[in-house]
Amino acid sequence: MFGLKSASLFGDTKKLEREIDEFVDIVSEVGLVFKSIVPTYLNHSANGKFEEMVEKVKEMESKADKITKDVEHTLYEETLIPDARSDVLRLLEHIDELIGMYQGNCYHFSIQKPNFPKEFHEDLIELTETVVNCVESLCLTVRSFFRDIKSVRDNAHKVTFYEKESDIKFSALARRIFDSELALDQKMHLRYFVEKIDRICDQAEDIADEIQIYAIKRSV
């Protein structure tokens, strides 16, 4: 009886480990796609490719949702990690929201089609890259929370660093938009997009802070 139970315990454990790894891979991949989506959008000639990429992000988001539900089910059904279960589920939900933010940005670009003049392209691409770097560092923080608790602090520090960088880039770009000769409605429209991209970093930083607390709780 106990032998079977323990075999299934280790089987479930391996399956869950794989699923959580896959989930973090998706976050990372969505970021990489998003990094290409913005320049693709700005380059109006590749609109077909842009829509293809938006579709890809949607698919990845659905896959991440499914994994979150699976993990939640198994953790509760098998009463695994009772001491850290609620922390892990909250963490996965918040990361899932982050993927949702990427997806939301893609949809907004696709539906509202903001008109970014050429002079802002470079700054917008740089902001996007910083945001993606920030989320990449968050992925490392998440992986270290699960496997290497000692590295959580170092990786979380990188998230904070990129979040500050992103704030600086956002402020500079927003200032340049409002200093330009564009009409106020267009300025506000562009500012909305820049702000939404920057918010991804704020969410990433909040999650990194959360992980640091969970790591303290998890310390042996």
Partner 1 sequence: MEITILIFLFGGLFLGWSLGANDAANVFGTAVGTRMVSFTSAAIICSVFVILGAIISGAGTTETLGKLGAINALPGAFAACVAAGISVYLMTKVGLPVSTTQAIVGAIVGWNLYTGSSTNLQVLITILGTWILCPIIAGVIAMGLFTFTKRVILNRKLHILRLDAYTRTALLLAGAFGAYSLGANNIANVMGVFVPISPFTDVTIGNLFVFSSKEQLFLLGGLAIAVGVFTYSKRVMFTVGNDLLKMTPVAAFIVVISHSIVLFLFASQGISAFLQSINLPSIPLVPVSSSQAVVGGVIGIGLLKGGKEVQWSIAGRISLGWMTLPVIAALISLIVLFILENIFNLTVSF
Say if residue 81 is exposed, middle or buried (CB neighbours under 10 Å; 0-12, 13-18, 19+): middle
24 in Cβ contact with 4 (< 8 Å): no
Query: Contact between 149 and partner 1 (CB under 8 A)?
Result: yes
**Binding residue for partner 1 (CB under 8 A) from 9, 168, 172, 216?**
9
Query: Contact between 91 and partner 1 (CB under 8 A)?
Result: no
Q: Residue 141 and residue 152: Cα distance in Å, rounded?
A: 5
**Binding residue for partner 1 (CB under 8 A) from 41, 109, 120, 145?**
145
Residues 41-80 that bind partner 1 (CB under 8 A): 79-80
Residues 191-220 that bind partner 1 (CB under 8 A): 218-220
**Binding residue for partner 1 (CB under 8 A) from 52, 119, 122, 148?**
148
Q: Which is nearer to partner 1, 44 or 147 (CB)?
A: 147
Phi-psi group of 209: left, alpha or beta (phi > 0 → left; psi -120 to 50 → alpha; rest → beta): alpha
Query: Contact between 10 and partner 1 (CB under 8 A)?
Result: yes
Residues 43, 27, 89, 149, Cα dihedral to 10°: -140
Residues 12-31 that bind partner 1 (CB under 8 A): 13, 16-17, 20
Q: Residue 125 and residue 201: Cα distance in Å, rounded?
A: 15
Q: Which positions touch partner 1 (CB under 8 A)?
A: 2, 5-6, 9-10, 13, 16-17, 20, 79-84, 88, 145-150, 218-220
